């Protein structure tokens, strides 16, 4: 035993130094690997740190968030990618998914041809949509509600067609919006006062409104002063540039139609829905359109129908329709409202107001005649899954019984939303919801250190491309601005219902396609993890080109994502006439998540700065063209004189 044991010890002594070296080597390797991983430094992060040192050396200069129309970027942060060419000047109002020529290929039935029809990958324009010559920065809110520079939306047909209804007037270099509408030629304020005798706008219980067939969105423009936010929509060019006018004024709007596809909102989104001569055939298709309004209307919400067929006895001659036709139409509307268990509260002149039953547990009205339609099959699909889904003549099931009721606005902005309290959003609790909001308060505080114009009124139309529960929108909340909270269809969680319960607005969208809006309709675009979300789903350059299309000249972009992703974004965007700087995460430079700030340069269809870089280098740059020197300050004096003239009249 002693011999065997002694032989074993000698063998171990012979192997011991090598084993120790290997063990120590492995320990050192994994220690260094762990330290490297914890530090957050890698190839991309070291580049980002170099970018930040370069930015710091310049004292933070390199981006200007002021409104001015000259100058370009002097200090590029990285080698530029090949530049994207400018689209033709005729494409200044290009709306890819609402192209008129493409629309004519689709059926007229149920307005299918006016719905979204996006180009295939081979048909997409990969160029930069130019601003029209003479484009200037819009006036700040609330002046923009009443005045829009004519150069920004140079269309006159509505000024003639709707002249007697006070929609819009052309006055020199300005478009003036007196606040009128087809059903309220004396002004939206008086019309809202009339509705307010039935609809409680003043107590904060009605915060979100859906305005169908909005015209130039004067209802939404004037509800704003009462603390009510309206999401307005109308078809592309049913009347020339109506949605474009709305957004130029600073009113939330998108291109859309109530046709064959469900509206891009979850159930129970709006406190009120409104139709003022919106030309939607409410009595058609077995009441399907009223059932769609019922779907997006919360329990206790209001529906306002203004215009035909209401008060048909007085107006049938003016509407050029027979009494029998109008009477039959109203009878059907009344029957469908009874099916849905809507209570008719009032009929005031040409406006009627119904209220959806406040009892959340009731699916349909048991006493309705004729019998109510079927209940939509909630088990077959997520009720929030509405993107490109066909509308059906069925009633959407109500929310769970016992759900917490909404608080009045502004309390509901920070209160725990009913969907969260009821556990309808997987993994989201009251505690995690509060943590999410606190995180966005920190993020926005850091944004303001870089861009002091955030929250100053410089940005009226803001978009959050990946809104989550609306934390960014709540953190930047101001009566001077509004945020379009986009919940991507690719997102893991459907949180848009939570956004609406906070008293904010938003929309579902797939960023592999163009957004339903005109070019140059947003002042600031925020994106948190958008490019990581869409990795391998569609091309990064297509998303960036769409951002450029909908962003105003000298508009701002704030992108938050992993450094490796943002470096790719930065390279592509450097060929899009954006000025950019990279910043660290506010908590630590070692965190791989960074923030990219960008400003879109000012250029127009007749501007030499729209030419490719090699051509520009051949030319002597001028100090500034006449179109670049124009500003909204120059137009403001014209607006003031027009306003004074109007008050004298």
**pTM of the entire structure?**
0.84
CATH classification at residue 345: 3.40.50.150
Q: Please check whether residues 229 and 327 belong to one and the same domain.
A: yes
Does 273 map to a domain?
Answer: yes
- Note whether 354 and 431 are same-domain residues: no
The answer to whether position 286 is within a domain reads yes
Residue 369 placed within a domain? no
- The burial of 141, by beta-carbon neighbours within 10 Å (0-12 exposed, 13-18 middle, 19 or more buried), is given as buried
| C-alpha dihedral, 137 to 140 to 145 to 147, nearest 10° | -50
Residue 33, Cβ density class (10 Å: 0-12 exposed, 13-18 middle, ≥19 buried): exposed
21 is a domain residue: no
What's the token pair of residue 438? 């606190």
Helices 288-296 and 323-339 pack at an angle, to 10 degrees, of: 40
Alpha-carbon distance of 550 to 522, in angstroms, equals 6
Question: Is 26 within the bounds of a domain?
Answer: no
Model confidence pLDDT, tens digit, residues 371-420: 677 888 764 568 899 999 999 999 888 766 445 579 999 999 999 999 99
- The string over 617-626, giving b where at least 16 C-beta atoms fall within 10 Å of a residue's C-beta and e elsewhere, is eeeeeeeebe
Q: Is 177 exposed, middle or buried (0-12, 13-18, 19+ CB in 10 A)?
A: buried
Count of all residues that appear for the chain in the document: 649
Question: Which of 581, 600, 619 is where one domain is finished?
Answer: 600
Low-confidence ranges of the chain (pLDDT < 50): 1-15, 29-61, 68-79, 379, 401-402, 610-649
Give the pLDDT confidence score for residue 36 in this predicted structure: 35
- The DSSP code sequence of 241-260 is THHHHHHHHT--EEE--SSS
Residue 143 lies in a domain: no
* Residues 441 and 330 both lie in one domain: no
Question: In angstroms, rounded to a whole number, what is the distance separating the alpha carbons of residues 83 and 613?
Answer: 7
Round to whole Å and give the CA distance between 11 and 207.
Answer: 83
State how far the alpha carbon of 70 is from the alpha carbons of 606, 612, 624, 631, in Å.
Answer: 14, 18, 6, 10
Tens-digit pLDDT profile for residues 81-95: 678 999 999 999 999
Whole-angstrom Cα distance, residue 641 to residue 638? 5
Q: Does 448 lie in the same domain as 301?
A: no
Total domains in the chain come to: 2
Decide: residue 370, CB within 10 A, 0-12 exposed, 13-18 middle, 19+ buried.
exposed
Nearest by Cα to 238 from 157, 149, 131: 157
Read out DSSP for 272-325?
A: EEEEES----TTSGGGHHHHHHHHHEEEEEEEEEESTTTTHHHHTTTTT--HHH
- What span, in angstroms and rounded, lies between the C-alpha atoms of 617 and 407? 60
Half-sphere exposure of residue 332: CA atoms within 13 angstroms, side-chain side: 17
Backbone angles phi and psi of 77, in degrees to 5: -90, -10
Q: How far is CA 587 from the centre of its chain?
A: 28
pLDDT of residue 22: 54
Q: Is residue 477 part of a domain?
A: yes
Q: What is the reported pLDDT for 370?
A: 62
187 and 289 in a single domain? The answer is yes
- Report d(CA 219, CA 188) in Å as an integer: 6
Output the six-digit token pair for 469: 């529960």
Do the domain assignments include residue 555? yes
Range of the domain at 576: 418-600
> Quick one: tokens of 634?
């120059």
Contact (CB, 8 A) for 212 and 231? no
CA-nearest of 636, 649, 555 to 146 is 636
- Closest C-alpha among 499, 501, 462, 496 to residue 482: 462
């Amino acid at each position: 035993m002693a011999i065997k044991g002694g032989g074993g010890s000698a063998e171990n002594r012979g192997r011991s130094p090598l084993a120790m070296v290997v063990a120590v080597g492995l320990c050192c390797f994994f220690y260094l690997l762990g330290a490297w991983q914890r530090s957050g430094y890698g190839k991309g992060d070291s580049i980002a740190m170099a970018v930040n040192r370069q930015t710091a050396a310049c004292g933070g200069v390199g981006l200007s968030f002021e409104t001015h129309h000259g100058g370009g970027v002097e200090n590029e942060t990285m080698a530029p990618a090949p530049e994207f060419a400018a689209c033709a000047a005729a494409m200044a109002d290009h709306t890819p998914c609402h192209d008129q020529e493409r629309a004519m290929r689709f059926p007229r039935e149920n307005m299918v041809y006016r719905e979204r029809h996006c180009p295939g990958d081979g048909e997409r324009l990969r160029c930069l949509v130019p601003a029209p010559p003479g484009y200037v920065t819009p006036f700040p809110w609330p002046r923009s509600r009443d005045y829009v520079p004519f150069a920004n939306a140079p269309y006159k047909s509505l000024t003639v067609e709707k002249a007697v209804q006070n929609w819009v007037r052309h006055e020199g270099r300005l478009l003036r919006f007196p606040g009128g509408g087809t059903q309220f030629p004396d002004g939206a304020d008086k019309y809202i006062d009339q509705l307010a005798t039935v609809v409680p706008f003043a107590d904060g219980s009605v915060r979100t409104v859906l305005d169908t067939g909005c015209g130039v969105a004067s209802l939404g423009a004037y509800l704003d002063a009462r603390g009510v936010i309206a999401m307005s929509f109308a078809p592309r060019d049913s009347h020339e540039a109506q949605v474009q006018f709305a957004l130029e004024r600073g009113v939330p709007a998108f291109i859309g139609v109530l046709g064959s596809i469900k509206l891009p909102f979850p159930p129970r989104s709006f406190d009120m829905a409104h139709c003022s001569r919106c030309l939607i055939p409410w009595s058609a298709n077995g009441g399907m359109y009223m059932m769609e309004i019922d779907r997006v209307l919360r329990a206790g919400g209001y529906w306002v129908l203004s215009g035909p067929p209401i008060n048909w006895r007085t107006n049938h001659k003016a509407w050029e329709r027979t009494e029998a036709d109008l009477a039959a139409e109203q009878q059907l509307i009344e029957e469908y409202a009874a099916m849905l268990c809507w209570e008719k509260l009032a009929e005031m002149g040409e406006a009627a107001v119904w209220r959806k039953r406040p009892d959340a547990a009731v699916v349909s009205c048991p006493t309705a005649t004729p019998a109510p339609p079927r209940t939509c099959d909630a088990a077959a699909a997520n009720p929030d899954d509405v993107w490109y889904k066909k509308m059906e003549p069925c009633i959407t099931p109500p929310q769970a019984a016992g759900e917490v009721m909404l608080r009045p606005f502004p309390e509901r902005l920070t209160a725990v939303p009913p969907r969260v309290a009821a556990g309808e959003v997987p993994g989201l609790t009251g505690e995690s919801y509060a943590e999410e909001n606190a995180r966005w308060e920190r993020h926005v505080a850091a944004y303001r250190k870089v861009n002091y114009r955030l929250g100053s009124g410089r940005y009226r139309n803001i978009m959050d491309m990946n809104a989550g529960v609306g934390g960014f929108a709540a953190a930047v909340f101001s009566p001077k601005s509004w945020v379009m909270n986009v919940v991507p269809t690719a997102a893991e969680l459907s949180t848009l219902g939570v956004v609406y319960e906070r008293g904010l607005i938003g929309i579902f969208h797939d960023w592999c396609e163009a957004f339903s809006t005109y070019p140059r309709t947003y002042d600031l675009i925020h994106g948190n993890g958008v490019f990581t979300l869409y990795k391998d789903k569609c091309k990064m350059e297509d998303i960036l080109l769409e951002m450029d299309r909908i962003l105003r000249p000298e508009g701002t972009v704030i992108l938050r994502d992993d450094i490796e992703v943002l470096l790719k974004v930065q390279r592509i965007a450097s060929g899009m006439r954006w000025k950019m700087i990279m910043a660290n995460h506010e908590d630590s430079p070692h965190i791989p998540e960074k923030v990219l700030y960008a400003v879109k340069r000012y250029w127009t269809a007749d501007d030499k700065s729209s030419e490719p870089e090699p051509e520009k280098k051949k030319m002597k740059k001028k100090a500034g063209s006449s179109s670049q020197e124009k500003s909204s300050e120059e137009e403001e004096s014209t607006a003031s004189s027009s306003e004074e003239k109007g008050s004298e009249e």
